[in-house]
Amino acid sequence: MQVTFQIMRREPGSSLRVQSYRLDNVLPGNTILDCLNRIKWEQDGSLGFRKNCRNTICGSCAMQINGRSRLACKENVSEMLTRAIGTDEHGEPVITVAPMGNLPVIRDLVVDLQPFWARLESIHPSVSRAEQLAAAETVAAQERSPQQNQPVSTDRVNQASQASPTDQSTDQLLDQPLDQLLRETRQTPDQRALLEQAGNCIACGACYSECNAVMVNPQFAGPQALAKAQRLVDDTRDRATAERLSQLGEDGSGVWGCTRCFACNEVCPMEVNPLDRISRIKSVLLAQAATAGEAIERPLRHRQTLVQMVREGGWIDERQFAIRVIGNSGRDWRGLASLAPVGWRMVARGKMPLTFEKSEGTDQVRGLIDAVRAVEAAQGTAQPPLPDREP
């Protein structure tokens, strides 16, 4: 069959343009990458795009196909024709191909991945055991020092602690036997299962390309980086969990910057489901705050208040939502003061609701929320709810 491709192209120093290519003898099972190869080999050798494994392993060929970020080596022609978003001059469906979003275009379908990798590096994406290994060397030196009559320094352990903070103090590490410091960290099947899904990520960047939060917030770490972070938070071999959670709980750059648009889950070719990984980190942060009895930060309070209000009335009571979240239910006078200008404008323009009516089906909504909480409690992933305001 004949298939028309409309490809977004860009030469260095020029503006974007669309160029059409028509291929004959295309088989329904041919992948989009097969067709791009034919265009490059048979029609236009200047077309630029990335490729490598051709088997959904390396993630190199991610691009926007018919308006969504996908792997060119995974999608076939027949499927993409059924999802075509444009037609040619004869009214026939065409397949559109464009570079990934949220990343600078270098040439044609090739994008600069440096911002993507920088966000991944920002969450320190490797298991942290530097301090533990440095402590092992120090303990080994201590065991040798009586015979060699040499002083032993703990500087290496302290330096490792500063570079990669852990949940244990230097003294606690140095008190452990050498064989305990050097032995492998074994994991149960259940502990390993927590890492499986995030471990399937091939860093293709499809989720990053579709992320609305990345588009508007340059500080947001991005779905791929946060999915990787969840793997490290739940990894029993990692010794920097507390430090990681502190970073991931930061407003804007961490998990609370996620807008929950589900785009990352929809486009992930490996079913990593980054949004689910982000939600897992949120659950750990909420549980940590409740266990420690710490003051709940605004992003956590926002999430808890939203769920609680929906449970109480079926939807959000706009009169109280900002007061509870930003004003901390009247305890944060600075937050309350910041709401005054907006509040007065809403009143002046008649946009401040004077009463609140529960939505239809509130009992069913409450039942669904309680059912989800029961499942989470059974799985050990329950989030601490705010106290009920109504029976």
Instruction: Give me the DSSP letters along 264-329.
Output: HHHH-TT---HHHHHHHHHHHHHHHHHHHTPPPPHHHHHHHHHHHHHHHHSS--HHHHHHHHTSGG
CA atoms of 255 and 222, how far apart (whole Å): 9
Nearest CA-CA partner of 283 in 263, 261, 307: 307
Query: What percent of the chain has pLDDT above 70?
Result: 81
In the block, tokens 């669904």 appear at 368
pLDDT tens across 106-128, in order?
Answer: 999 999 999 999 999 999 998 87
Q: What is the pLDDT of residue 317?
A: 87
Q: What is the pLDDT of residue 244?
A: 92
Q: What is the pLDDT of residue 163?
A: 43
The lowest-confidence range among 65-74, 115-124, 166-175, 216-225 is 166-175
Q: Which residues contact 245 (CB under 8 A, 6 or more apart)?
A: 233, 281, 284, 285, 288
Residue 380 has pLDDT above 80, yes or no: no
pLDDT tens across 71-102, in order?
Answer: 999 999 999 999 988 788 777 899 999 999 99
The lowest-confidence range among 211-225, 287-301, 306-320 is 287-301
Nearest CA-CA partner of 85 in 101, 110, 109, 64: 64
CA atoms of 96 and 320, how far apart (whole Å): 46
- The pair of structure tokens assigned to 253 is 């750059």
Residue 154 has pLDDT above 50, yes or no: no
CA atoms of 217 and 211, how far apart (whole Å): 10
Q: What is the pLDDT of residue 356?
A: 86
- Residue 57 near residue 202 (C-beta atoms within 8 A): yes
CA atoms of 351 and 32, how far apart (whole Å): 50
Residue 191's alpha-carbon distances to 22, 130, 131, 230, 353, in angstroms, are 51, 22, 23, 13, 49
Q: What is the pLDDT of residue 179?
A: 59
Q: What is the pTM assigned to this prediction? A: 0.74
The lowest-confidence range among 48-62, 132-146, 367-381 is 132-146
pLDDT tens across 3-38, in order?
Answer: 999 999 998 888 889 999 999 999 999 999 999 999
Q: What is the pLDDT of residue 161?
A: 45
Over the Cα atoms of the chain, what is R_g? 27
More confident residue, 163 or 318: 318
3-state SS class at 223: helix
Nearest CA-CA partner of 273 in 198, 382, 191, 372: 198
Strand partners, 5: 21, 95
- The pair of structure tokens assigned to 260 is 């929950």
CA atoms of 198 and 184, how far apart (whole Å): 22
Residue 170 has pLDDT above 60, yes or no: no
Average pLDDT taken over every residue of the chain:
83
Average pLDDT over residues 212-236: 94
More confident residue, 237 or 164: 237
pLDDT tens across 332-350, in order?
Answer: 888 888 888 888 888 888 8
More confident residue, 158 or 138: 138
